[in-house]
Structure 1
Amino acid sequence: MPSRDWRQRIQDILVSITEIEQRINGITFEEFTKNPTIVKAVLYDFVVIGEATRNIPNEIQSRYPLIPWRLMGGMRNVVTHEYFQVSLMRVWETIQNDLPSLVPQLQEVLQTEVSGE
């Protein structure tokens, strides 16, 4: 049995998204790229997001096909294994364009699945 329930893993994703948003709040892309502490903290949160995603059961993932589960896990793989290929512009674009819409989707998963049990 996994050490953490999949619902806790979704909460981990939501916490990581919040922490990323807090870290980059009020800074520009240029400021982001010049601050290795923030960059590394953000990349760590993407690893957490991807790792947590890998532990969401396939049956849950298949019920929510609009959530980019594979891409979330894929980003973790790049940050972890292909770290020398990380594009900070792509990371920034993901933060700006993808993370905000992911929050309500994940909250819906939690609400629907918990109330449906």
Structure 2
Amino acid sequence: MIRDIRDYVNDIYAAMEAAENFVSDCSLEDFLEDRKTQYAVIRALEIIGEAAKNIPDDVRQKYPSIPWKDLTGIRDKLIHAYFGVNL
């Protein structure tokens, strides 16, 4: 299946909404003790970063206020250096 930019933007939006919903009713202390919620939020961040990688450069340049490198960088850190992630 060929995906276009709208699909990736929708993925980013859905993952952002999901992450927000996962933590909307818990305190920081609750979050730090709840491995399921941590894993869910981490997965949402991975999806956001992966989808952001698929946004073409010309589109990224039109929206310089979006921290594209941060979005893709967090994904890379979570995927490749998961052992160094400190919540």
TM-score interval for Structure 1 and Structure 2 normalised by the shorter chain = over 0.9
Q: Taking structure 1 as reference, are residues 3 and 87 closer, same or farther at Cα in structure 2, changes over 3 Å only?
A: farther
The count of corresponding residues between Structure 1 and Structure 2 is 87
1:87 shift after superposition: 2.3
Identity %: 33
Q: How far off its partner does 1:27 sit?
A: 0.6
Runs of at least 5 residues in structure 2 that lack an aligned partner in the other structure: none
Gaps of 5+ in 1: 89-117
For 1:72 and 1:55, how far apart are their aligned partners in 2? Answer: 11
- The alignment's TM-score, normalised by the length of structure 1, stands at 0.71
Partner of 1:5: 4
Matches within 5 A, 1:53-92: 53-88=52-87
- Give a deviation string over 1:15-55, Cα, whole Å, max 9, x none: 00100011101211110011111100110010000000000
CA RMSD of aligned residues (A): 1.1
Aligned partners of 1:68, 1:30: CA distance in 2, in Å?
A: 28
Q: Distance in 1 between matches of 2:66 and 2:58?
A: 13
Structure 2 match to 1:92: none
Task: State the SS of the aligned residue for 2:55.
Answer: coil
In the aligned structure 2, how far is the partner of 1:10 from the partner of 1:61? 12
Where 1:26 maps in the other structure, the secondary structure is: coil
Cα distance in 2 for residues equivalent to 1:50 and 1:8: 14
Q: TM-score, normalising length from structure 2?
A: 0.95
Runs of 4+ in 1 over 6 A off after TM superposition: none
SS at match of 1:3: coil
